[in-house]
Structure formats: C-alpha cells, structure tokens
Amino acid sequence: MRVIVPLQGVVQGTGGLFWGSVIPCALFYFLQLLFKTKTRHHHPPSNHNHHSTLHRSLSPTPRHATASAYVSPRANSITAANSPYYLGLHRVADDPYHQTHNPQGVIQLAFDQNTLSLDLIQEWIHSNGTAAMLGKPLSVSGIVPYQPLHGFMELKLAVARFMSRVLEKPVFFNPSRMVLTAGATSAIEILTFCLADHGNAFLVPTPLSPGFDGVVKWRTGVEIVPVPCRSTDDFNLSITSLERTFNQAKKRGQKVRGIIMTNPSNPAGKLLNRETLLDLLDFAREKNIHIISNEMFAGSSYGDEEFVSMAEIMEAEDHDRDRVHIVFGLSNELSVPGLKAGAIYSYNDNVVAAASKLARFSTVSAPTQRLLISMLSDTSFVQKFIEVNKLRLRKMYDTFVAGLKQLGIECTRSSGGFCCWADMSSLIRSYNEKGELELWDRLLNVSKINVTPGSSCHCIEPGWFRFCFATWTEKDVCVVMERIQRIYDATK
C-alpha cells in the first residue's frame, strides 16, 4: 500500500522560557591550574567574584537600583544555585585536582568531554594550522568577508564525507541538507524552534544529560516529557514505554510534536539497534510526529556492537522522510569543544530552509570553518584519529568499569560516549532521591570526586551515578577508586 505524504504545516504560538546552564566555567580555571605551574593559591573563578566585581565597576550605583527596568522571566535560570550541578562546579573550581600539583583536590568527573586524543589534534594543528586557516599562499580573503551564514559549502561537503567515515559505512550525506551551527546545542535548539511551538512537547528517553532539557526548553517554551528507561532493560529504550508515555501526555492535553533520542545515549552510553530505530520510525509515522536523532557522540562508539545511524536507516526509505532530522557534533567528534561546530541534517526541505535562516543566530566563525575543512579533508589523519580515539575510549572505559567492579559497583554496559553509568544504590542510606543526593554529597566532600547524580539526569531509579572518564589517565582512575573506597571505609 503506497502512501503519499504531501507537505504543509500550520500551528501557532511562540515564546521562550527558562534554562539551566550547560557549560561549566570551572573547566577553564581547572585547566589553568593543570597546565600552568601554580599551587593551590590561584585566583577564584569569576563566577564567585562576578557580582562583587560588577558592583565595584559601577561603584556609585547601589546593588538593587530603584525603579529597575523589567527583565523577562527568561532571565531566571531553571537550575537552582544550590543544585548538584552548581555546587559541584564550585567545589571543583575552588580546589581542582591535579596529579602532581594538587593530588588531594576535587576530581571532576561530571564533565562529559574527551581529551584522550587531543594530542593528535594538537600535532595536526601545529603542523597545518596556519595554512589550514589562511590557505596557501597565505591570504585572508577566505576568512574575512561575509559568507553564507549556514556554513561554507566546502565544509558541508567535508562534513558529509567525514560522517561517512565516522560511521564506517558508505552512507551518503547530501551537503545541501546540512546546516552548520555553533555547536550541537544550538543545532538542537534550532530544530526545536522549527518543529514545535511554545507549550508543545517532545518525548525524550531518560536518563538524559543534565542541562539537555534546558537546551530544549529555555527560549522555545517546548516541554520535555521523559520516557523512563529502566535498569531491567539495561537502560535500553522500549517502544512500549514510549507508547505509554505518549498516551499519558495525550491524556494530559500535551501536544507531542516529536521524539528526541541521543544515540549513543548520555549518560548510559547505549546504542539503538537497527530494529529499534525502525520501530521508532514506525511509531513516529503512526503518530505523525518528528524524530530528532541526536548523534553527537556517533564517533565515540567503541563497543562491540555496530553503531547504526538514522541516516543509514533512511537510505532504505524512499517515502515519508520529512519527519527525520539528525544532529552531529563536529567539535565533539574531534574532541575539540572549543571549536564549537555542529550540524543539522534534515530530510525535510522546509526544515532545511528554515534552519538555514535561523543559523544566522548561531554561526560558526569562518577561520574555524577553514580549519575544519582542512582537517576533515585530510583523510589519512581522519582515519587514524577515528581509530585511535575509539581504542583509547574503549581502554579507558574498560579500566574505569573494572575499577568500579572491584569495589562492588556495577555499571551498565556502555558502547559509546565519554561516561559510564554506575549503580551505587548499595551505598545509599535511603532508597530515594534524598538518599542519592546524600551519597552525592559524601562523594563530593569525603571522596572529593564530583559526579552527576541520577536525579540530575531524570533517572527514575535512585542510586545511579554518571562518571565521566574521558579526561583522565589510568593513574588518575586509580586515585578515583581509592577515593571511592573512602566511602566504604567510612560506612564500616
């Protein structure tokens, strides 16, 4: 039975709301300590001094001026100042661990970033950086003038080829369907603006990365409806759960516009297999909603199972493709988050058109684009990088998980990403969120490790914690295990 799906679209409502911050500023100060010869006596991070410095710079003005002009409720943050996120951040910033300079400091394990293969990037940039940016012969005409605000076509071509390599399959990406943005975060927000209106909702499997819901919700006013994944399913997504959540949302009067799934997932690191992806497509078609496949960690899949991209599924689909959209995180793949480059890949022409125009608010700097074009076109470098990076991630994951296992802590079997998802429920005093946060606090203050509690990830089962391992060495991992041991010793 052939089905024709014509194009159209009308709804209403706009707006924006709150958000909790995503990017810890502590890392900057942490790195300053790590890589410069400094002792514990470092400058406190700016967010501590922030208000007082601002105040000083306007000394005659009282802190709360009279008749202050209105500021929208958007100025309020979702994430409370006393959330684990901020509290952990501040503790790390005040006393960041360093193998030699500050071995008793707080170890940051709540930041999902990958530095394991940064040396390869560094080497490449030092050998090729200038020519990459300025071209040969050196000229600035490639980086200075106005350029299409949705990205250079050359970069889109390079990204298309790169993603094929990452997937290790000859998947064809049409560069005209690509929109380049200042990071995967803006890509997700732009897609949200295109696919849903204020007050609508997206189904999102949990646990999810802390701050993710803020990215979706803050300025768009689009709600997240969590689809809980359970330990009994090893935190794999179940279509039954999706169906149930969809129906519950409908009963509540919430208009669901789509599903956003992160594959590999964060924090559990699960891959969606081919069958599930096909089921998801069927589900989306049946309910007539969108799918956003957030594949920003695609290149970080190190497990034994194959990573299947939504793009691969779509190659075999010749109709009803308008509802599928993929997000890639270039700076993520290359473990250089500072480059801030992401991409939207949509099978819907209207979405490509709208997103291309919206990308003007989240553009990638031309020098950065030039650098990426060069780097991504260096096929032998890309090949080596992908291989080495996966191996290193795998090794570090295995080491970390083994270390935890020795302490009696089991982890979900992860196949990608920079974190492991650990079951520490045996250590919590009461089997609820309060107990979990109490353990988190002990881990921070007794073990001096900053990890992410499951409640910050919307996990419905208490006692799960996310450990980000991809910025450390094996030596550091030993230290982490020793520190966790302190909790056991303290419990006895």
Partner 1 sequence: MGIEIEQPCVELSNVAVSETHGEDSPYFAGWKAYDENPYDELSNPSGVIQMGLAENQVSFDLLEKYLEEHPEASTWGKGAPGFRENALFQDYHGLKTFRTAMATFMEKVRGGRVKFDPQRVVLTAGATAANELLTFILANPGDALLVPTPYYPGFDRDLRWRTGVNIVPIHCDSLNNFQITPEALECAYKDAEAMNFKVRGVLITNPSNPLGITIPRSVLEEILDFVTRKNIHLVSDEIYSGSVFSSSEFTSVAEILEGREYKNAERVHIVYSLSKDLGLPGFRVGTIYSYNDKVVTTARRMSSFTLISSQTQHLLASMLSDEKFTENYIETNRERLRKRYEMIIEGLRSAGIECLKGNAGLFCWMNMSPLLEKPTREGELKLWNAILHQVKLNISPGSSCHSSEPGWFRVCFANMTEHTLEIALQRIRHFVERIRTQTESV
Q: Which of residues 365-424 bind partner 1 (CB under 8 A)?
A: 365-368, 371
Smaller CB distance to partner 1: residue 236 or 294? 294
Min dist. Cβ of residue 1 to partner 1 (A): 4
Give the span between the Cα atoms of 413 and 263, in whole angstroms.
14
Smaller CB distance to partner 1: residue 143 or 278? 143
Q: Distances in Å between the alpha carbon of 91 and those of 52, 97, 444, 446, 448?
A: 19, 11, 8, 12, 9
Which residues in the 165-204 window bind partner 1 by CB under 8 A? 182-183, 185-186, 189, 193-198, 200
Which residues in the 266-305 window bind partner 1 by CB under 8 A? 288-290
Q: DSSP letter at 135?
A: T
Min dist. Cβ of residue 44 to partner 1 (A): 13
Smaller CB distance to partner 1: residue 188 or 229? 188
- Site map for partner 1, 100-139, x if CB under 8 A? -------------x-x--x--xx--xx--xx--xx---xx
Position 69 contacts partner 1 (CB under 8 A): yes
- Site map for partner 1, 227-266, x if CB under 8 A? ------------------------------x---------
Smaller CB distance to partner 1: residue 6 or 253? 6
Amino acid letter for position 480: V
The residue count of the chain comes to 492
- Site map for partner 1, 453-492, x if CB under 8 A? ----------------------------------------
Amino acid letter for position 232: T
Position 58 contacts partner 1 (CB under 8 A): yes
Quote the radius of gyration of the chain (alpha carbons, Å). Answer: 23
Q: Name the residue with tokens 């890589």.
A: 35
Q: Which residues fall within 8 angstroms of residue 409, CB to CB, at 6 or more apart?
A: 422, 423, 424, 426, 484
Smaller CB distance to partner 1: residue 356 or 447? 356
Smaller CB distance to partner 1: residue 277 or 439? 277
Each residue of 417-449: b (16+ CB within 10 Å) or e? bbbbbbbbbebbeeeebebbbbbbebbbeebbb
Conformation bin of residue 340: beta by default, left when phi > 0, alpha when psi is -120 to 50:
left
Min dist. Cβ of residue 58 to partner 1 (A): 5
Which residues in the 29-48 window bind partner 1 by CB under 8 A? 31-32, 35-36, 46-47
Smaller CB distance to partner 1: residue 193 or 397? 193
Q: Distances in Å between the alpha carbon of 352 and those of 51, 175, 332, 398, 426?
A: 41, 11, 22, 40, 48
Which residues in the 70-89 window bind partner 1 by CB under 8 A? 70-75, 77
Min dist. Cβ of residue 222 to partner 1 (A): 9
Q: Are strands 324-329 and 290-294 parallel, antiparallel or unpaired?
A: parallel
Q: Which residues fall within 8 angstroms of residue 283, CB to CB, at 6 or more apart?
A: 239, 242, 243, 259
Which residues in the 331-370 window bind partner 1 by CB under 8 A? 331, 336-341, 348, 350-351, 354, 357-358, 360-368
**Under 8 Å between Cβ of 198 and 176:** no
Q: How many residues bind partner 1 (CB under 8 A)?
A: 114
Which residue from 91, 98, 217, 219 is in contact with partner 1, where contact means CB under 8 A?
Answer: 219
450 three-state secondary structure:
strand
Cis (ω within 30 of 0) for the bond into 267? yes
Q: Which residues fall within 8 angstroms of residue 126, CB to CB, at 6 or more apart?
A: none
If one counts every other C-beta atom within 10 angstroms of the C-beta of residue 214, the result is 20
Smaller CB distance to partner 1: residue 291 or 308? 291
473 three-state secondary structure:
coil
Min dist. Cβ of residue 295 to partner 1 (A): 19
From the list 25-33, 153-161, 292-300, 412-420, the region that binds partner 1 by CB under 8 A is 25-33
Which residues in the 140-169 window bind partner 1 by CB under 8 A? 140, 143-147
Smaller CB distance to partner 1: residue 47 or 273? 47
Give the span between the Cα atoms of 131 and 139, in whole angstroms.
9
Q: How far is CA 230 from the centre of its chain?
A: 21
Smaller CB distance to partner 1: residue 143 or 225? 143
Min dist. Cβ of residue 349 to partner 1 (A): 11
Each residue of 342-380: b (16+ CB within 10 Å) or e? bbbbbbbeebbebbbebbeebbbebebbbbbbbbbbbee
Min dist. Cβ of residue 236 to partner 1 (A): 26
Min dist. Cβ of residue 3 to partner 1 (A): 5
Give the span between the Cα atoms of 463 and 451, in whole angstroms.
12
Position 15 contacts partner 1 (CB under 8 A): yes
Min dist. Cβ of residue 319 to partner 1 (A): 10
Min dist. Cβ of residue 341 to partner 1 (A): 7
Min dist. Cβ of residue 146 to partner 1 (A): 5
Position 21 contacts partner 1 (CB under 8 A): yes
Smaller CB distance to partner 1: residue 47 or 231? 47
